[in-house]
Amino acid sequence: MTTAAPPFGVCVSVPAASAGDALQRLGGEGLRDDRYRVHREDERVLIPVERPARAAELLEGARLVETELEHDPRRPPIEIVRERLDPVLDAEQQAAVPTGWTELGDVLVLRLPDDLHPEAETVARAYADVLDVSSVVHLEGSSGEFREPETRLLCGDEDTETVHREHGIVYRLDPREVMFSPGNKTERHRLRDEVAPGETVVDLFAGIGYFALPLASAGARVIACEANPTAVEFLRENRALNELGEAIAIREGDCREGAPSGVADRVHMGYLPGTDAFLETALDALKPEGGCIHYHDEAPQPDPIEHGRDLINGHEALADVDVEIQGARVVKTMGPGHAHVGLDLEVSP
């Protein structure tokens, strides 16, 4: 298992009075590592460099210092990645370099276009170097009942189990074994703020605890259903890591068989596409007086929210109850022509 740590590297230490000249000379020789901040310590300035021995030879009175480094936010990482790939990629390949990626702990997950596959390892090493990650993984997609990721390790450590932190929650996972969508981050935060302490939430598709952990941390009692054995193991670990043992009850297996009846103030439904096949299970889990169903599904563009509303308003599983759609939003895009939508359904008998 890997965990993120501050980057550690080499700087040249020069007298503050000569720092301007040193920066100019290092830049002219291509020796300054401008991913990282220059910083001052007393009467000397520390400049992050590449090829430290050559940098020290170039500057009179310079000393080499090993120290923790801090990223310079003024330069976007993608700009530095492309700069490093200039010598090996043609213009068409440069245009295909991904501008988006997911950092999970110290593992980077990205989708590499076909144009870049011949240079996959070189491209991956550029990202690993610039973003200070231990492994880079190509995500092709997901498949099967459990939405298992289809991946390929492009470079780095074979052990891609890592620890990811988000809004104060710790997630242990392996992105080559289970999916993790950063696009749901805002939704996780929104639901955590909405739930009231003491409420009972049934999470029909808990995964590694994507929503169960933040909801439990907000004071809810969560009954977490999950059929994927790998995800269940991570869920158990994450419950312990976040010290939520009393707040999350785990039910392993198909939620249609294992979900409780008549106990939930809220039901969370995060399996997509095809979430509507589980609406009867969600209704059965609600308290007799009703409650809220947080429904997620995949819907086509150009109006995914309207499509989601139409599906709910016409669904036979909801024919015998009153349903008010209190909220509807696009959570994230899902490739050409589709979006992930979230609907908050207030249900009463």
Q: Which long-range contacts (CB under 8 A, 24 or more apart) does 222-226 make?
A: 222/247, 222/248, 222/249, 223/248, 223/249, 223/251, 223/259, 223/260, 223/263, 223/264, 224/248, 224/249, 224/250, 224/251, 225/251, 225/253, 225/255, 225/258, 225/259, 226/250, 226/251, 226/252
DSSP class of 19: H
Residues in the chain, overall count: 349
Task: Supply the mean pLDDT for the chain.
Answer: 92
Residues 255-269: tens digit of each pLDDT: 999 999 999 999 999
Asked if 121 and 85 touch (Cβ cutoff 8 Å), the reply is: no
Task: Report, as an integer, the average pLDDT of 45-69.
Answer: 90
Contact 123, 116 (CB under 8 A): yes
| Element (DSSP H or E) covering residue 27 | helix 19-28
pLDDT at 4 over 60: no
Judge residue 143's burial from the number of C-beta atoms within 10 Å of its C-beta, 0-12 exposed, 13-18 middle, 19 or more buried: exposed
pLDDT at 34: 80
Other C-beta atoms lying within 10 Å of the C-beta of residue 66: 10
How many alpha carbons lie under 13 Å from residue 256 in its C-beta half-sphere?
Answer: 7
Is residue 71's pLDDT more than 90? no
Question: Average pLDDT for residues 314-326, to the nearest whole number?
Answer: 95
Residue entry with tokens 């620890």: 163
Q: How confident is the model at residue 201 (pLDDT cuts 50, 70, 90)?
A: very high
Least confident interval from 189-193, 250-254, 343-347: 189-193
**pLDDT higher at 145 or 174:** 174
pLDDT in tens, 24-51: 889 888 888 887 888 888 889 999 998 8
Q: Of 220, 345, 334, 240, nearest to 286 (Cα)?
A: 345
Kindly state the average pLDDT of the residues 324-337: 91
Domains of the chain in start order, with CATH, are 8-68 (3.30.70.2580), 77-160 (3.30.300.110), 180-348 (3.40.50.150)
How far is 234 from 214, CA to CA, in rounded Å? 15
**pLDDT band at residue 94 under the 50/70/90 scheme:** very high
Task: Report pLDDT for 6.
Answer: 57
- The pTM assigned to this predicted structure is 0.79
Mean pLDDT of 70-89: 84
Show the CA angle centred on residue 55, arms to residues 50 and 58, nearest 5°. Answer: 155
Reduce the DSSP state of residue 52 to 3 states and report it.
helix
Token representation of residue 280: 């009867």
